[in-house]
Structure 1
Amino acid sequence: MAQDYSYAGSDGPDNWGGVCAAGIQQSPIDITGTTEAEAIMPAIAWQTADAVELTRNSLNFTAHTDAGALILNGTRYDLIQFHFHSLSEHTVEGEAYPLEVHFVHASEDGNLAVVGVFYEEGEENAELAALWNAIPAAGETGNVEGLELTNFLPSSLDGYRYSGSLTTPPCAEIVAWTVLSEPLEASEAQIEAYQGLFGDTARPVQPHNRRFVLEND
């Protein structure tokens, strides 16, 4: 499917218009200047996904699944898809990770809660291997069976919370962001394989504009 935006050139992030340019709660951000707070993290309930469908366009691929949900501030958000970015879109004290995954959940009223997980270079990751092997050609679909989604969570669920937006056009400011602080591992070959297929898929960090970034205490 043709895209009306890109990550470079005349259609790159500097030229994304609309809310992307005019919004005041845009994502991603550099995670810095955090405020410690208690009991801010969502309750995540992911399951084994019997079947995950992968779709691909000219920029990236998306994994579609409904095998999970989270509860945030008393509201249920159902998992609808997840996708990756490289380098990481969020940075921590100005430092980027080589890879970041975003798990997108939607509530009945159309708002979104997204969980971001970083990857650092290390051991080969079995879940990524299963996904990478199923990435289809552009415009086609692929499938992965029996993917254990809880393996995409680090041992610690501590992290950061803030109000933000989609990181691609239309950049709607409807996202409650959770970014976990402990990274998972992916091998150098896996990181290079993603980058070889898709290149740079990270929007530059955006101004905080006086938003609070809460850090789980």
Structure 2
Amino acid sequence: MHRREALRMFAGLSLCQLCTSAASAAEHHWSYAGEGGPDKWSGLDEANTACSIGGQQSPINITGTIGARQPPLRIRWTKHPATIVNNGHTIQLGFEDGNTLHLGDRSFALKQMHFHHPGEHQIEGKGFAMEAHFVHEGTDGLAVVGVLLVPGKSNPVFKTIMATMPPQEGAPVQADPKIEPVRLLPSQRAYFHYEGSLTTPPCSETVEWIVLAHPIEVDEADIARFGKLYPMNARPLQKRDRRFILSSNPR
């Protein structure tokens, strides 16, 4: 418990790492393969120690879940993203104040969302084409909503993001005002809940993960478009260790 609270003190710093601008992204020499790949992250910077010695790392294979009464997700995303950036690791959209996630009696503010190809989490050993992460900041840490993406019918919001994403790494630009983040959520809001970490350096264990159980469908051509920019920007699965994974939808 004390270890967890200490780690949460670094949540603000972790969020800044996630919200990397193009200028600072150039200073980060981590990557998803080669000399800067995931197995080397902890040695690239002393701040990344948790990447190798942490006991609550993400992503994981979601299996052996425990059905439990969980608070409903109250998502209030009414503001459109202000910016979109290719930061050298992913496509990321930044939000100004006004979008919130309420989990029980706690409130979190949506700061940014970004994408991974392929999806980072698995469910019962099943992988997914992509995964969107909605990163929220609260008073005692981060809450990240993970949405799994599969090929299927076109999603207009995802299509707009893919059509307007910067093709090269650079500074943030204004996002298309038609992008409505709430339309990237499935209609069913059952979810898995576990304590974990950032899936990028510094791998801080300050994250409450809310992985939605039902994926959304997006056009396969749009997945391929993202894949041309980032053929692989997903961290390998991490050990579950002794963590509980709670399911809001008991079987």
- TM-score for both structures, normalised by structure 1: 0.94
C-alpha contact (below 8 Å) 2:73/2:189 kept by paired residues: no
2:103 paired with 1:76: no
Cα deviations across residues 7-26 of structure 1 (Å, max 9, x unaligned)? 00111111121110010000
Name the structure where helix makes up a greater proportion of residues: 2
Q: Counterpart of 2:82 in 1: which secondary structure?
A: strand
The Cα of 1:48 is off from its aligned counterpart by 4.1
Specify the alignment match of 2:116 in structure 1.
85
Specify the alignment match of 2:159 in structure 1.
129
The Cα of 1:69 is off from its aligned counterpart by 0.7
C-alpha contact (below 8 Å) 1:86/1:98 kept by paired residues: yes
Specify the alignment match of 1:63 in structure 2.
93
The Cα of 1:95 is off from its aligned counterpart by 1.2
From 144, 160, 168, the equivalent of 1:114 is 144
What is the root-mean-square deviation in Å for CA atoms of aligned residues?
1.3
Q: How does 1:1-217 map to 2 (within 5 A)?
A: 1-2=25-26, 3-17=28-42, 18-49=49-80, 51-66=81-96, 67-109=98-140, 111-136=141-166, 137-142=168-173, 143-217=175-249
C-alpha contact (below 8 Å) 1:5/1:16 kept by paired residues: yes
Structure 1: segments with no counterpart, 5+ residues: none
Q: Which one-letter code corresponds to 2:226 in the other structure?
A: Y
C-alpha contact (below 8 Å) 2:152/2:217 kept by paired residues: yes
C-alpha contact (below 8 Å) 1:40/1:161 kept by paired residues: no
Using the aligned pairs only, state the percent identity. 39
The Cα of 1:166 is off from its aligned counterpart by 0.3
- The CA distance in 2 between the partners of 1:96 and 1:170, in whole Å, is 24
The Cα of 1:156 is off from its aligned counterpart by 0.3
- The CA distance in 2 between the partners of 1:120 and 1:71, in whole Å, is 26
Q: Counterpart of 1:16 in 2: which secondary structure?
A: helix
The Cα of 1:57 is off from its aligned counterpart by 2.0
- TM-score for both structures, normalised by structure 2: 0.82
The Cα of 1:41 is off from its aligned counterpart by 4.2
